[in-house]
């Protein structure tokens, strides 16, 4: 029995007994983000809830009659106008941050102008029982104020330290470096220093985003709305797309739910006939090469393309290359390009032996669940972190795309294909991720309904949220103890010198008496 059928039985056996109104706001223009939540929206609607979501990648599934999608796919145009990822790699970090925040502002503003969103804002009789918002561009959290209902924040990756801290959840920058940092495993002193510093930078950044998005809250919801930072501080629950096997082990409060571990995986579908034939025939092995949905292969330089093509030409394997162009002049016979491949179903084919990836979390999970070792070529965001985890855990190797040469690429590919240790390791870790009492999706569904049932999760609120920082870090207690110890040492030294002087006095007197 696959875990899909287990999930299906689970859903059947615990048919929900109530129907709630659920609003999900994910304004981020990135399929890899959206795809982490799509199964949740679908599942909640199948359980009889009325689910309304704002998304840039609607499912458009007419059988999901309880799911209303506010289609904001137009936001991709705004994103491409404001943010060119390949161009972004060239600008300074501060410019990059400004651009990302400003793009997030424009994107949310256009989405708030959507007639269906305007309807939600203006319709007096409209109500929702819970609002889920992605913690990237958080302006949508104001809907929780609008409908006076609990708020759940979620991320398609791990949360940042400041977000954990704001929930009162301990989070240690050395034990768990931010996902935007490449550090994995045991950190050296400078890495620890950078990790601590960077967590403050992230707090500053997340604060800037909230301030920028708050301008939209005031403009579209009303001037009487509390500051977005205040709205976010009332978050009932957090969903993070992590699991303790791939990500590091860390302490979690009961209101921080890990919904990671293949949540976005779809049920298997048969491959198109020609593709199936092609894969069946490639008994030598298949390498699947994709740089994901954010880094488009067409932006790669001629020189980089030549290295890829020449290397692939020398390999006795079939290469499936997800490439956003009609043709690729000079490619060898064994290379098949397409703008789109059914990636998850390709990974299920036993002839696929290697996945070359930019290191997106969702792609890594898809390969992992099908026991396929990987070569990571990270570009942006959390990719470097993910790829380093991959290498650290022994599931594959990494290459620097900008500097690698033909020899290095070929050698790395052959190492993975000829050394079975990577394949064994992937299988071992995948089995561990799958071995849990309920899937990440089931957990997210259960806890969403929990928040609805109890109108929030105030009772799970961490006491750390009400503690001033100096008390949390025991500064007053440590300070008091230091003072006591210093006073004691002072008294001791004074007493010793007093006793010394007394003794000296007695000695001098005795001496003079003797003389």
Ligand X SMILES: *[C@@H]1O[C@H](CO)[C@@H](O)[C@H](O)[C@H]1NC(C)=O
Contact set with ligand X (CB under 6 A): 19, 45-46, 48, 65-66, 119, 123, 125-126
What SS3 state is found at 132?
strand
45 versus 176: smaller Cβ distance to ligand X: 45
Chain centroid offset of residue 502 CA: 70
Minimum gap (Å) between residue 64 Cβ and ligand X: 6
122 versus 511: smaller Cβ distance to ligand X: 122
46 versus 209: smaller Cβ distance to ligand X: 46
In this structure, the chain runs to a length of 515
What SS3 state is found at 256?
strand
132 versus 291: smaller Cβ distance to ligand X: 132
What SS3 state is found at 346?
helix
Q: What share of the chain is helix, strand, coil (3-state, %, to 5)?
A: 50, 10, 40
66 versus 84: smaller Cβ distance to ligand X: 66
Minimum gap (Å) between residue 65 Cβ and ligand X: 4
Minimum gap (Å) between residue 55 Cβ and ligand X: 18
Q: How far is CA 273 from CA 276, 277, 504, in A?
A: 5, 6, 104
48 versus 182: smaller Cβ distance to ligand X: 48
Q: Which two tokens stand for residue 115?
A: 């007639």
Minimum gap (Å) between residue 8 Cβ and ligand X: 14
12 versus 249: smaller Cβ distance to ligand X: 12
| Residue in the structure block whose two tokens are 């924040």 | 153
Minimum gap (Å) between residue 241 Cβ and ligand X: 24
Dihedral sign of CA atoms 237, 241, 245, 249 in order: negative
Minimum gap (Å) between residue 152 Cβ and ligand X: 20
Minimum gap (Å) between residue 66 Cβ and ligand X: 4
43 versus 366: smaller Cβ distance to ligand X: 43
Minimum gap (Å) between residue 25 Cβ and ligand X: 17
How is 188-253 classified by DSSP, letter by letter?
-HHHHHHHHHHHHHHHHHHHHHHHHHHHHHHHHT-TTSPPHHHHHHT--EEEE---TTTS------
Question: What is the DSSP code (8-state) at residue 130?
Answer: E
In sequence order, which ranges of 355-405 are alpha helices (DSSP H)?
361-369, 383-392
* Cα 304 from Cα 349, distance rounded (Å): 29
């Amino acid at each position: 029995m696959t875990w899909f059928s287990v999930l299906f039985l689970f859903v059947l056996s615990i048919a929900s007994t109530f129907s709630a109104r659920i609003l999900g706001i994910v304004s981020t223009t990135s399929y890899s983000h959206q795809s982490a939540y799509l199964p949740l929206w679908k599942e909640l609607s199948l359980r009889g809830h009325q689910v309304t979501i704002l998304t840039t990648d609607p499912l458009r599934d007419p059988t999901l009659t309880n799911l209303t999608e506010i289609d904001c796919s137009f936001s991709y145009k705004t994103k491409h106008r404001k943010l060119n990822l390949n161009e972004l790699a060239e600008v300074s970090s501060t410019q990059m941050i400004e651009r990302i925040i400003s793009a997030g502002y424009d994107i949310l503003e256009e989405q708030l102008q959507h007639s269906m969103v305007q309807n939600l804002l203006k319709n007096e009789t409209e109500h929702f029982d819970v609002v889920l918002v992605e913690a990237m561009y958080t302006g949508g959290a104001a809907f929780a104020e609008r409908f006076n209902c609990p708020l759940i924040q979620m991320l398609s990756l791990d949360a940042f330290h400041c977000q954990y801290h704001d929930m009162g959840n301990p989070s240690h920058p050395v034990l768990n470096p931010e996902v935007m940092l490449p550090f994995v495993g045991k950190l050296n002193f400078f890495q620890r220093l950078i990790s601590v510093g960077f967590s403050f930078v992230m707090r500053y950044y997340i604060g800037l985003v909230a301030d920028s998005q708050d301008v939209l809250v005031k403009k579209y919801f009303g001037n009487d709305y509390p500051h977005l930072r205040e709205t976010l501080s009332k978050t009932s629950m957090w969903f993070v797309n992590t699991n303790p096997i791939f990500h590091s082990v860390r302490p979690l409060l009961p209101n921080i739910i890990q919904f990671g571990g293949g949540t976005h995986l779809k049920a298997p579908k048969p491959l198109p006939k020609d593709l199936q034939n092609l894969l069946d025939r490639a008994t030598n092995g298949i390498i699947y090469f994709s740089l994901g949905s954010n880094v488009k292969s067409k932006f790669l330089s001629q020189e980089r393309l030549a290295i890829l093509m020449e290397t692939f030409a020398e390999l006795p394997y079939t290469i499936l290359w997800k490439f956003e162009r009609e043709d690729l002049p000079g490619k060898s016979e064994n290379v098949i390009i397409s703008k789109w491949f059914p990636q998850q179903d390709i990974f299920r084919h036993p002839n696929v032996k290697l996945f070359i990836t930019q290191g997106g979390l969702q792609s890594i999970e898809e390969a992992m669940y099908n026991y396929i070792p990987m070569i990571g070529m990270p570009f942006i965001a959390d990719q470097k972190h993910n790829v380093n985890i991959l290498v650290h855990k022994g599931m594959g190797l990494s290459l620097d795309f900008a500097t690698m040469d033909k020899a290095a690429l070929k050698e790395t590919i052959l190492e993975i294909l000829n050394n079975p240790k990577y394949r064994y390791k992937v299988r071992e870790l995948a089995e561990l991720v799958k071995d849990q009492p309920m899937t990440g999706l089931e957990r997210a569904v259960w806890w969403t309904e929990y928040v609805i049932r109890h109108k929030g999760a105030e009772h799970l609120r961490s006491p750390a949220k009400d503690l001033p920082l100096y008390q949390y870090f025991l500064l007053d207690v440590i300070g008091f103890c230091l003072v006591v110890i210093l006073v004691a040492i002072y008294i001791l030294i004074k007493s010793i010198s007093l006793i010394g002087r007394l003794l000296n006095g007695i000695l001098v007197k005795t001496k003079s008496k003797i003389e």
